[in-house]
Structure 1
Amino acid sequence: MARWAELPAGLDRRERQLVVQLRRLKDHSGLSLSALGARTGYSRSSWERYLSGRAPVPRAAVIGLAEACGVDPTRLLALHEVATEHRAADGHSTGTAQPVADTGPASRSWPGEHPEPPGPPAGRRRRAVAAALLVGAVALGFAVGLTTGLVAGSGTRAAAGPGRADGPDLVRPDGERWRRGAEHTCRVRRAEGLLHAGHSRERTAYLDINSSGWHVVEAQCLLRRHGVDPGAVDGLYGPVVQEAVRRFQAARRIPVDGVVGPDTWGELRR
């Protein structure tokens, strides 16, 4: 995994803490920026700005990232609130050259998405002290709970990545567990008008570089059934699989991004 670039030197410590935690969560999930954009409704370029500290992260994007990674957004939202209050108190956005927040797609709305007006000058010092204490407490809780949150509360939304516990993507419908390093047989059949290889019934999960498990095995088998060679059918989503997906997407005239999502699953199942 590529190392993150240094955050801007002028980025406020509250904003920095939020971005660091968002980066950490993204890395733990194994999702690429493209897959993250597809799952949250915010573009890859928007996430590049947010995670590089060049633009404030919208509240809805914080929620979207947490949901995409299968974790409770409460701690992240606490950090976001502290950073937002600091910007409001100072009367400008922190960071580099007055960045403007990307609000994402106009059709998407979230509860409580209304910025609060700046408070009176007399209350700034009290808010600053309270914010500093809150940042410390939230950061500590987030660091302790990040790994367990990814394991215990991950659900089934994200494809398996580094540090994931067993889930539906690692246990086949017949109960067999996926094992790294094993190759699998493809027996593709059509049932109720759709193609199935028997490894996964998935039709919506996002698969990208670093994904692994039975969902990937299923996609590899279906790619092979459509005449596109994904390499070894081993349940590991690497560059060879990504290139095979790109070729398949181009042949089916759907967006070519190398990510298996609902549209690509729909074509694979045909």
Structure 2
Amino acid sequence: MSRWAALPAELDPRVRQLAVRLRRLKDHSGLSLRQLAARTGYSAKSWERYLGGRSLPPREAVEALARVGGEDPTRLLALHEVATDAWGNRHGAAATVAEAPVPEAAAAQPEFLSADATGARSPGRSLRIALVAGAVALVLAVSTAVFLVVRLAGGGAQEHPPAPLAATGTSAPASASAPRSAPLEGPTYSCRVERIDGRWYAGNSRTQDAILANGHAGPEVAEAQCLLRRAGISPGGIDGIFGPVTERAVKQVQKQAGLVVDGIVGPHTWKALRG
């Protein structure tokens, strides 16, 4: 009877159960690891990892050990399937990559197996990984440098996205790139308020449903400002720019009209203004 080393403490109970059953079957067969390798086609070092709980054996290896031990593989394969799920969840990947069986001559001499067959990482593979990682790092560095050059060359480009357009698309947003201290040059608006068919109009726009909010600009904003002033609420200047003062005035008229107070001019607020 072999004296087995303790299985890893962090090993999942389902994987542990499979490893214990495989150990018992190996002991029952009376074969050494070299003899087991020669009979199954899997190297002695591979079996050392499987039976030590450091690697999950492929299905074919489990079936081969069952045949060697004279046992029906059905139960072992069922345990292997459960252990495969547990191993995949533990490592966050597929349960195991099946190792290709090695010829009997090579299995009898595990010291001559290639590094890939025993699970060790070959120097050539490590070199390829290092070269790929270096190439990726070089591409990222070049891309970053090109991006910085383009940004510096286009220093006059707009740095901030414009304010959102009104839902109807009729109001143009105020320029986001202009300095706050410098007044925007634009059209001048006047208030020529008159009542037509029972509704008030100020001569800048006849809209009934344009959606206006803080940051918008245009004749519709000037129209709302004129109608706010007609209602006795100061929107600030009649400049066609929807700013904080205009927003406060809109909220005041919404409150007076019993509307939802959100500071956004929509169909209901237009109806109250043109009332």
Give the TM-score category using the shorter length: 0.3 to 0.5
Question: What is the TM-score when the length of structure 2 is the normalising length?
Answer: 0.35
From the CA coordinates, give the structure whose radius of gyration is larger. 2
